[in-house]
Amino acid sequence: MPAGGATRAQPGPSEVPLPLELPAPSPLPGRIRPEAAVPCIEAFDHPEWRFTVDWEGSRALLFAGSGAVRLQDETLADVTLRYPEMQAARRRLGERALVLDGAVVVLDPDGRPDLTSLGLRLALGASGARSLPAVYLANDILYLDGSPTLSWPLDRRLAVLREVLEGCEPIQAPDHVDSRGRALADAASARDLNALLARRGDAPYRPGIASPDRLRVALDQRTTCAVAAVTSAAPGRSRGMVLAELQGARWVIAGWVEAPADRVVSRWVERLAETLGTDAPFLDAPAQGASVRWLRPGITATVVHEGRHADGTLSAPALVAVRDDCDPTWCVRRAAVAPPEVDEARRGFVPTVLLPLPLDEASLLPHVSR
């Protein structure tokens, strides 16, 4: 008891400490599997859909937080060191914690994505940053200040994305067009762009799903296939690559294409093939001679072609780029769907979870800054 026998007064209601400390924001996820698009047979107009160019590049998620920037490609690999120029965005983003979905692209002098140059940049890695600088074109935001935005409707996510990235180089947020998919397709084709991305304005983001609310409209005939084997030169045939696609739950041959002519890319592919070589092909294939080196899934090739034969194989495929940034399990031979009709409530695929298979483990063009 205090001196003098006095008792200590209890604190009144106004003196009780109040719990004013805010909880710490949730940490950013380590990895996210991107949402996939369903192919659509043609461009369309629809008041509930938003359209943009499907920028041909390396699909990547960009994670920013605590002054750091990290990149994850669609194989879930960390490719931050491959693109050191993306670190310039740290100062603009500051301490904001966010995750973006988009594509790393290498632009030609006219501001068009150049996939062949990107293929060379993949082979060169960080050393190609000066000669083949890349930019990041964002089309979605998945986390903002530590909180997920995946359940937000697309329209809300796009509005926030434009606000967050205003004036942020080398990250850009290209414009979207409401409703008028056919006009955008005509304009994109005139500029030799390859595809449109169509998304429903009220749709959430579905990680790892081929979403019926995300459609890809091809403007030319090209596809990305897994590389099942590399072949040595043989009488009447040059060095090449055996292409494969998933059909249902099994791999099938998609065609054959000549090996890359560029020496840097060719040597890079040889190094990749050394690490992926196997005696057991991952697909059913006719017997081949000693000139064929079978590979485990890991390399893909984007090719242009003249359509498909009756058996589904590609007609006259020609190589655009060899890649290690694409998930081979997304190389699916899938029939394109019809566009949604305005007078129908819903149309298209039921979402399909893309599970990994047991495989041995104002202007359409972005700003050009050189």
> What are the DSSP E strand ranges found in 219-317?
222-231, 240-247, 250-258, 292-294, 300-304
Place of tokens 């304005």: 201
At 203, phi and psi to the nearest 5? -85, 145
Task: Give the confidence band of 268 by pLDDT, cuts at 50, 70, 90.
Answer: very high
The pLDDT, as a whole number, for residue 122 is 97
- 366 has a pLDDT exceeding 70: no
The pLDDT, as a whole number, for residue 65 is 85
- 237 has a pLDDT exceeding 80: no
- Per the model's pLDDT, the better-predicted residue between 167 and 162 turns out to be 162
Average pLDDT, the chain: 86
- 10 has a pLDDT exceeding 60: no
Distance, CA of 103 to CA of 136 (rounded, Å)? 6
The pLDDT, as a whole number, for residue 116 is 96
Q: Of the given ranges (87-101, 109-123, 152-166, 292-306), which has the lowest mean pLDDT? A: 87-101
> What is the gyration radius of the CA atoms in the chain, in angstroms?
25
The pLDDT, as a whole number, for residue 217 is 97
Distance, CA of 347 to CA of 41 (rounded, Å)? 14
Kindly give, in sequence order, each residue whose CB lies less than 8 Å from that of residue 189, ignoring residues fewer than 6 positions away. 219
The pLDDT, as a whole number, for residue 90 is 82
- 140 has a pLDDT exceeding 60: yes
- DSSP single-letter state for residue 12: P
Instruction: Give CA separation, 131 vs 79, 86, 324, 341, in Å.
Output: 18, 15, 20, 46
User: How does 70-97 read in b/e, with b if 16+ C-beta sit within 10 Å?
Assistant: bbbbbbeeebbebbebbeebeebbeeeb
Q: Of the given ranges (201-215, 247-261, 294-308, 340-354), which has the lowest mean pLDDT? A: 340-354
Residue 325, both tokens: 């940034």
- 359 has a pLDDT exceeding 50: no
With beta carbons less than 8 A apart as the criterion, state whether 73 and 57 touch: no
- Per the model's pLDDT, the better-predicted residue between 235 and 309 turns out to be 309
At 276, phi and psi to the nearest 5? -105, 0
Instruction: Give CA separation, 255 vs 58, 272, 303, 304, in Å.
Output: 23, 20, 10, 12
The pLDDT, as a whole number, for residue 355 is 41
**Mean pLDDT on 64-91:** 91
Highest averaged pLDDT of the listed ranges 6-20, 140-154, 271-285: 140-154
Domains of the chain, each with CATH number or no CATH: 36-220 (3.30.470.30), 223-330 (2.40.50.140)
Residues facing residue 217 across a β-bridge? 40, 196
**Mean pLDDT on 312-328:** 96
Q: Which long-range contacts (CB under 8 A, 24 or more apart) does 278-287 make?
A: 278/360, 281/228, 281/229, 282/228, 282/244, 282/251, 282/359, 282/360, 283/228, 283/244, 283/250, 283/251, 283/252, 283/253, 284/250, 284/251, 284/252, 285/228, 285/229, 285/242, 285/253
Task: Give the confidence band of 365 by pLDDT, cuts at 50, 70, 90.
Answer: low
The pLDDT, as a whole number, for residue 351 is 47
Residues facing residue 226 across a β-bridge? 244, 300
Cα first-last separation, the chain: 78
The pLDDT, as a whole number, for residue 345 is 47
Task: Give the confidence band of 291 by pLDDT, cuts at 50, 70, 90.
Answer: confident
Q: How many CA atoms lie within 13 A of 236 on its CB side?
A: 0
Distance, CA of 88 to CA of 168 (rounded, Å)? 9
The pLDDT, as a whole number, for residue 127 is 96
- 95 has a pLDDT exceeding 60: yes
- DSSP single-letter state for residue 77: -
Q: Of the given ranges (92-101, 112-121, 285-294, 344-353), which has the lowest mean pLDDT? A: 344-353
The pLDDT, as a whole number, for residue 302 is 97
- 58 has a pLDDT exceeding 80: yes
> What are the DSSP E strand ranges found in 233-314?
240-247, 250-258, 292-294, 300-304
- Per the model's pLDDT, the better-predicted residue between 238 and 199 turns out to be 199
**Mean pLDDT on 79-98:** 88
Distance, CA of 238 to CA of 127 (rounded, Å)? 30
At 339, phi and psi to the nearest 5? -65, 155
Per cent of the chain over pLDDT 70 is: 82
- 70 has a pLDDT exceeding 50: yes
The pLDDT, as a whole number, for residue 347 is 47
**Mean pLDDT on 20-26:** 60
- 205 has a pLDDT exceeding 90: yes
